[in-house]
Structure 1
Amino acid sequence: MSDYLGLVCSRWCHWSELELQRIGRRPLASGQVRIRVRHAGVGFALSLFVSGKYQRKPPLPFTPGTEAAGEIIEVAPDVTRLRPGQRVAAALDWGGFAQEVVTTADTVYPVPDALDLASAAALPVTYGTVWAALAWRAALQPGETMLVHGASGSLGTAAVQVCRLMGARVIATASTAAKRDAALRNGAAHALPSDPESLAAAVKGLCPSGGVDVVFDPVGGDLFDASLRCAAPGGRLLSIGYASGRIPEVPANLLLVKNLSVIGFNYGYYIGWGLTDERRRLAPRVQDVVGKIMHAVTQGEMPKPVVQHFGLHQWHEAVDTTMSRRAIGKVMLDMP
């Protein structure tokens, strides 16, 4: 096709002001591939991205969407790891909310035949973030207990599954009974209300050691503050994001008294979204992690991602479901 359908951000705006448009096909540059997109994941950071408040600002106009899966249409002459016709998933700078995307081959990952593309689309960014955070930064060990905030959202759902695969126990938090039930069905041992005032007492009642070994926190705000009281001596707190809207400040005296570690984790650094583009240097490390995740899912060692499907023409409902935190699992746009 000479052009294709996609969502376009023509100026910094509220996400609801995006427009479906025909987009002209652009040529491949060195090291790039062209993908026919079948499914694209919707993330919470979209609202920051299109309003110009994210740490990276694409050149206007652009198509948002940072995770997708489909088939390769074309590869640049210097790309040898991938081939046309191959089923792949990708971590993208942007461009996923369209029928086609051009992206660097470094962050494109072959999908096993046994894995459907909708599931695969959720793995490189969402599950990659979780796996890398737990393995590389928190050094989660079998037998440990991890507290997962926002446990019914896309990151939280993935965190519960990966934590269990790594042999640890999960205590989940979520805002509603339905979301807590979803976390339990997903494998959490316990699910608690995300109430900062009562959380520490509830967690300590479930942990004979006096608290959890690891906290996985994509929420921040008051829940992060409560997590300091939920952690056992020597605990590690993973700061993943701030969906609450408030970036917390850490009282250093609590870190000292309880021997706590607060660990920041920015997966974007590994896939080219940092202040400097390190994706090529770090690509083998990330490719190894994504390969392990896909293997675990295809072998039945870990459930497939929980996915809510919307057609591209339902994009407004899909984004609203994510932004209003009604989503259970990953919201996915299916391309026509």
Structure 2
Amino acid sequence: MQADDYQGLVCSRWCHWSELALQRIARRPLAAGQVRIRVRHAGVGFALSLFVSGKYQRKPPLPFTPGTEVAGEIIEVAPDVTQLRPGQRVAAALDWGGIAEEAVASADTVYPVPDGLSLAHAAALPITYGTVWAALAWRAALQPDDTMLVHGASGALGTAAVQVGRLMGARVIATASTPAKREAALRNGAAHALEPDPATLAAAVKALCPAGGADVVFDPVGGDLFDASLRCAAPGARLLSIGYASGRIPAVPANLLLVKNLTLVGFNYGYYIGWGLTDERRRFAPRVQAMVAEIMQAAASGRLAPPVLQHFALRDWLDAVDTTMSRRAIGKVMLDI
């Protein structure tokens, strides 16, 4: 018989992430369309800080448990859920609630994990790799033999972008802030790894690109690097604005877009999984389910290199979050629960 509560990380008031606490959480009945998961692994991302401080565009009801990406086994399904079953290995994209021994997810954003793929690797795929795959395939139309410039190439999104870009046939130029991170990007499949110096980046990229620059820019950093990316881009390039880890949201001089025929593409994966101003997850569920299944199969078969992970125990959640927020992580920070 299951206990009527479980352990998880709890945000009781809007606060700094270091003020969170592990607590016992009372189990609640499932609502229609929901699935209960025994969590084995939970990812940690930059958005956690915004969530718990009340600065994210969606504010969960207090108290709540942060964490949006998990993998484990299904414990229970609501009566109207027929495509999933108890005991099934799954990964899930959550609204929140992931950093706990159990989590409740909408069945629309729960994804079966194929044999041959570990749950730890699977936990990183629906959101981190889903973001990258959808951005490159759906929005940037990445083509074989394109040259792609990836900023923040040793972080979770950047690492995934290098791997997925290579799988899609692109030549990848990475930027990363330290020699160790640049070496990690090269091991991960980048053809070149450069310092992210806005003053010298354009010349360095153009020296590597016969077409005069990168065909696609994947930018989760923003700030000065985005400004430099406009100069790094080849005529006709597509620039993906994914996030602003630098802390500065850049302004775009539209004349550069005009002169170089550039396409600036904003991409918010949350729109497809229910995190938008309106909840569109059901409308996009077939498309996202098919994409995540393709990612899972690519990882299980070895066509896609496994996610690069840094593992922490749940009791070490403070170190795990600090590693993420201080940008010391190489790859994805994963809590083993």
Report how far residue 84 of structure 1 moved: 0.2
Cα distance in 2 between the residues matched to 1:230 and 1:49:
33
Residue 135 in 1 paired to residue 133 in 2? no
1:277 aligns with 279
| Aligned match for 1:110, one of 105, 112, 121 | 112
Identity of aligned residues (%): 84
The amino acid that maps onto 1:293 is I
Distance 1:199 1:80 in 2: 52
Aligned-residue CA RMSD in angstroms? 0.4
Q: Does 1:66 align with 2:68?
A: yes
Q: 2:79 is matched by which residue type in structure 1?
A: P
Q: Which one of the candidate residues 149, 154, 157 is aligned to 2:156?
A: 154
The correspondence for 1:323, drawn from 317, 322, 325, is 325
Structure 1 CA distance for aligned equivalents of residues 295 and 136 of structure 2: 13
CA distance in 2, matches of 1:212, 1:288: 29
Deviations 1:298-318 (A, max 9, x none): 111011100000000000000
Distance in structure 2 (CA, Å) of the matches to 1:196 and 1:317: 31
Structure 1 Cα separation of the partners of residues 25 and 188 of structure 2: 39
Q: Once the 2 structures are TM-superposed, how far is the Cα of residue 150 of structure 1 from its aligned partner? A: 0.2
Question: Which aligned pairs between 1:204-223 and structure 2 lie closer than 5 A?
Answer: 204-223=206-225
Whether 1:82 aligns to 2:88 is no
Q: Take 1:302 and 1:21, find their aligned partners in 2: how far apart are those partners?
A: 37
SS at match of 2:37: strand
Aligned to 2:264: 262
Following the alignment from structure 1 to structure 2, what is the Cα–Cα distance between the partners of residues 114 and 198?
44
User: What amino acid is aligned across from residue 248 of structure 1 in structure 2?
Assistant: P
- Report what 1:290 is aligned to: 292
Query: Aligned AA for 1:52?
Result: G
What corresponds to 1:231 in structure 2?
233
Q: Distance in 2 between matches of 1:265 and 1:81?
A: 29
Distance 1:302 1:35 in 2: 26
Structure 1 residue 209 displacement after superposition: 0.6
The aligned residue for residue 181 of structure 1 is 183
Unaligned runs of 5+ in 2: none
Shift in Å, 1:102: 1.0
Aligned equivalent of 1:97: 99
Q: Which residue of 1 aligns with 2:305?
A: 303
Task: Give the structure-2-normalised TM-score.
Answer: 0.99
- What corresponds to 2:193 in structure 1? 191
Q: CA deviation at 1:103?
A: 1.3
Distance 1:318 1:330 in 2: 10
Task: Give 1:120's match in structure 2, choosing from 111, 119, 122.
Answer: 122
SS of alignment partner, residue 84 of structure 2: coil
Runs of 4+ in 1 over 2 A off after TM superposition: none
What do residues 310-333 of structure 1 show as CA deviations (whole Å, max 9, x unaligned)?
A: 000000000000000000000000
Instruction: Return the offset for 1:252.
Output: 0.3
Instruction: Tell me the alpha carbon deviations over residues 106-134 of structure 1, each in whole angstroms, 9 at most, x when there is no partner.
Output: 00000012110000000000000000000
Q: CA offsets per residue over residues 20-43 of structure 1, 9 Å max, x none? A: 000000100000000000000000
* Distance in 2 between residues matched to 1:113 and 1:142, nearest whole Å: 29
Letter matched to residue 88 of structure 1: V
Q: Unpaired segments of 5 or more residues in structure 1?
A: none
Distance 2:303 2:194 in 1: 26
How far apart are the structure 2 equivalents of 1:182 and 1:137? 27
Q: Amino acid of the residue matched to residue 299 of structure 1?
A: S
CA distance in 1, matches of 2:89, 2:134: 23
Deviation at 1:225, TM superposition (A): 0.2
* Deviation (angstroms), 1:296: 0.6
Alpha-carbon deviations, 1:244-284, whole Å to 9, x = none? 00000000000000000110000000000000000001000
Structure 2 letter corresponding to 1:241:
G
- C-alpha deviation, 1:228, in angstroms: 0.1
Q: Secondary structure at the match of 2:161?
A: helix
